[in-house]
Amino acid sequence: MLRANTAAADSGMVSSVDPEAEAGRQDFYGRAGAQSLAPLWRVLHGLVTEMPQPGCIPHLWKYADVRPYLIEACELISTKEAERRVLVLENPGLRGQSRITQSMFGGLQIILPGETAPPHRHVASALRFIIEGRDAYTAVAGERTTMRPGDFVITPSWTWHDHGNESDAPMVWLDGLDMHIVNLMAASFREGYEGDRHPLTRPEGAAWAEAGTNLLPVGHVSKSQTSPIFNYPYDRTREALDRLSRFREIDAWHGHKMRYINPVSGGWAIPTIATCMQLLPRGFKSRPYRSTDSTAFVVVEGTGRSVVGTAEFEWGPHDIFVMPSWTTVEHTALTDAVLFSYSDRAVQEKLDLLHEEKL
């Protein structure tokens, strides 16, 4: 009997269901199925699990191993043909689904000198975290911003955007999108632009002048829950972390960690994607931590190691790794290290779904 109950639990069937009696119910199930009805008791435990059951698994992408494939992709396909020349960071636990975690997309995009990625817009919100290169740009809603390593750049929902590289070296960045949340709700729209570039209607730096100095123009009306600042430069972020570390006691689980905010509302910079940057001083070892937001980390500076569940990762600059939902993580910094991260925490907080545990 114990063996039968175990099998039932593994299949999602509630343990009180008699597996021997199930044989006599098949006719009923067949007739009910013809009316598009299905018995909840056969799947309940698989739908309402006792603990999170993430499909994604801990994984590390070493940038040194990935970069050659980005360069080779440039030889195989143009930005015009591909529209976005991106290699998807496909979580091994979610093959074929274009997911770095259950809810988030992650991919590395590369643009060569002189190339442009044509304008389009979509409902999904996007972040760009700059990995390599200088002086390429992204244009968002008629304003261009120059991108440099460590910059966090936002493409708000349903805004025209294009990219270009006017430098003499390749430009690589991480694309993070909430498309899987959007698609879950069947709310996706996408539109291409007829021209090669969307017209510029504002000077570079306009968004920062309007909202980046603890001031707003009189009469300002927010049209979106997304931050009006769409480029958070790394030099300012790094300086903030350094200053914080000089006077604020270090957090035993996160080191010195700060979140990117919308300066108008104080909420997350992107309403569906939580983004953070954390400084781990040399020799710091975090206490074990877990939360329900599966998180993707990008190493900006330094070296260290992280134990994620039963996996152990040695990481350095530009490496990317994943912490699945409700999986314990511990970080150790071998040098001063800075980590960028993004997750669906912003959504979980709004819906009162977030759970975390500091061990």
Residue 331: alpha-carbon gap to chain centroid: 19
Residues whose CB falls within 8 Å of the CB of residue 28, separated by 6 or more in sequence, listed in order = none
The pLDDT, as a whole number, for residue 8 is: 42
Beta-strand relationship, 295-301 and 320-323: antiparallel
The pLDDT, as a whole number, for residue 15 is: 85
Distance CA 279, CA 285 (A): 12
Query: Is the CATH code 2.60.120.10 the one for domain 59-358?
Result: yes
Distance CA 136, CA 114 (A): 9
Distance CA 82, CA 47 (A): 38
Q: With 0.75 as the threshold, say if the pTM is over it.
A: yes
Distance CA 239, CA 203 (A): 26
Residue with tokens 């979980």: 348
Residue 157: alpha-carbon gap to chain centroid: 15
N- to C-terminal Cα distance for the chain?
A: 37
Give me the average pLDDT of each 10-residue run along the chain (359 residues). Answer: 38 85 94 97 94 97 98 95 96 98 98 94 98 94 96 97 95 98 98 91 96 94 93 98 98 98 97 98 98 98 98 98 98 98 98 97
Find the Cα–Cα–Cα–Cα dihedral 195, 172, 57, 48, rounded to 10°: -30
Both tokens assigned to 126:
């996007």
Contact 302, 317 (CB under 8 A): yes
DSSP states along 96-121:
TS--SSSS-EEEEEEE-TT-EEEEEE
The pLDDT, as a whole number, for residue 210 is: 95
Domain ranges of the chain: 2-47, 59-358
For 41, the 3-state DSSP assignment is: helix
User: Diameter of the chain by CA atoms?
Assistant: 73
